[in-house]
Structure 1
Amino acid sequence: MKLRIATYNIHKGVSSLRSMPRIHALKQALTSMEADIFFLQEVQGRHDKYATRHATLWPEQAQHQFLAGESHEAVYGMNAVYDHGHHGNALLSRFPVVASSNRDISDHAFEARGILHCIVQSPEADLHCYVVHLGLFAGSRKRQTDALIEAVLTSSPPDAPLIIAGDFNDWTNQLSDSLREYLGVTEVFDGNLSSRGFGSYLRMLSGRGPKIKPARTFPAALPWLRLDRIYVRGFQIESAQVLHGALWAKLSDHAPILASLALK
């Protein structure tokens, strides 16, 4: 089975500069990706101020429902709640979502973070999908990664096809090795290791080989920091790319990652 997936921090559906609504353009951009499953962060479930100020540009539906349209099923995990609204993570799936749960992994009062776990019923297997948005501080990210590992180990079978995707804010790339070690996952931009042979992979894991670096995704106008990730288990990675350029720079401060997978 072939699978096309994307992860994208949509910046609450507003532009990086002046916070102008971009939600309609975002929907067109997501449609153009033709992904089966989207892993979205900073999705605005409700924002009364934007809805009032930009009535003609702001959809009446919650963003996850609006972006899903008729082609995808939407699941929303609310993380941050305030007087005029809330936002969180969302998963949009072309296949049925048979179960979902949202786990609070906030590390302090100033950053509300969560892990949205969805079981997606694909034609060939149930896929365990985790949408992640980690904190801005290194200590928080380490504790949240430990919580992610514990969540995956306790909520999915060890042989289940697995996708973990989102905004890890891990610009120093300190978290990937733990996820590889404890969950047996591969980051989609690790795929070029296969052409180097198993020995290269072992040298990388032991620290004696070249450090594998994820893709640059932030800022979208000129990606430099490596913030966003897609980790998979039980899949062959066929391709992975960062979508950037003038179009994407207008939509969010992050650039999306799009990957094509084949179920093993």
Structure 2
Amino acid sequence: MNPLQSSVLPPASGDERRLRVATYNIHKGVRGVGPAKRLEIHNLGLAIEALDADLVCLQEVRRFHKRDARRFDRTSFGWPQQGQAEFLAPEGYDVAYRTNAITRHGEHGNALLSRWSIGEPNHHDVSDHRFEQRGLLHVQVNWQGRAVDTIVAHFGLSHSSRLRQVQRLAAFVRQELDPAVPLLVAGDFNDWGERLDGAMQEAGLRRAVAPSAKGLQRSLTFPSLAPVFALDRVYTRGWRCVSTFVPRGATWARMSDHLPLVAEFEPLEA
């Protein structure tokens, strides 16, 4: 049995009208610096399986990293031979990955793991300056015989950059996506000051908050050891959020500097 599948995580509702979505910044599958640096990608595989989500939206996912691969190849578990998106996907899930940033030793980007079949992944560059490479991963998912547009996002570190990235997201949605198709935009928005919701609403996207939630206290995801910021979110068009959950505890805190956010949705017309 997966040791993370416990009372810490509520079971999926089992209601076929509901779509369970998770978003998770996995910190490239490693934690720590210098001699204390450790490989967490194997534990993250158990974590993602335990989330039991229909769609898992991931940020900071490595396709490869030559230096870390050499370092951790000598450990008992070892660096995965495949890209992290493929390695983390539960059995039977479809995988989409697109690169955001190319670095000296490798590259990383956004990924979608889907229990449902997916279309061709697309990448839309929303980099605001040359020091931060940022992008949107767009994938259309075939859920219950209907199309669902899904965008995985990772926004910049300054508020002005994030506002411009919302504008580029809005333009992409307006120009490229069918307004009749329900939309999910999930990711790490780096919105420390809680100032993006208005701009997202102007773009036709509402933040997913469960009816029973009191403010944003239940969706705090960063830093993972003692979360005080709700950086990880889902924004939607055409969906009703029925529940949200953030798993906590020492095991979840050690795997990444972020905690995952899990949310369940129903179509508005349901």
Question: Normalized against structure 2, the TM-score is what?
Answer: 0.86
The question of 1:59 aligning with 2:86 is answered no
2:31 alignment partner in structure 1: 15
Mapped to 2, the partners of 1:104 and 1:170 lie a distance apart of: 19
Asked if 2 retains the 8 angstrom alpha-carbon contact of 1:16 and 1:252, the reply is no
- Aligned pair count reads 246
Would you tell me which structure has more helix in proportion to its own residues? 1
Q: 2:189 aligns with which of 161, 164, 168?
A: 168
Shift of 1:159: 2.1
Deviations 1:17-66 (A, max 9, x none): 53311001000010011001001000011101111111142110100010
Q: Secondary structure of the equivalent of 1:250?
A: helix
2:14 alignment partner in structure 1: none
1:158 alignment partner in structure 2: 179
Q: 2:94 aligns with which of 73, 91, 94?
A: 73
2:7 alignment partner in structure 1: none
Asked if 2 retains the 8 angstrom alpha-carbon contact of 1:7 and 1:258, the reply is yes
1:189 alignment partner in structure 2: 209
Shift of 1:68: 1.1
Q: Secondary structure of the equivalent of 1:6?
A: strand
The question of 1:243 aligning with 2:247 is answered yes
Mapped to 2, the partners of 1:80 and 1:245 lie a distance apart of: 31
> 5+ residue gaps in structure 1?
196-211
2:8 alignment partner in structure 1: none
Shift of 1:262: 1.6
The amino acid across from 2:63 in the alignment is G
The question of 1:132 aligning with 2:153 is answered yes
1:145 alignment partner in structure 2: 166
RMSD, aligned α-carbons: 1.7
Asked if 2 retains the 8 angstrom alpha-carbon contact of 1:99 and 1:120, the reply is no
Shift of 1:213: 4.4
Shift of 1:190: 5.8
The amino acid across from 1:189 in the alignment is V
Shift of 1:154: 1.5
1:37 alignment partner in structure 2: 55
1:225 alignment partner in structure 2: 229
Asked if 1 retains the 8 angstrom alpha-carbon contact of 2:49 and 2:90, the reply is no
1:5 alignment partner in structure 2: 21
2:43 alignment partner in structure 1: 25
Shift of 1:70: 2.5
Shift of 1:226: 2.1
- Structure 1 residues 16 and 253: alpha-carbon distance in aligned structure 2, compared to 1, 3 A threshold: farther
Mapped to 1, the partners of 2:203 and 2:81 lie a distance apart of: 42
> 5+ residue gaps in structure 2?
1-16
1:86 alignment partner in structure 2: 107
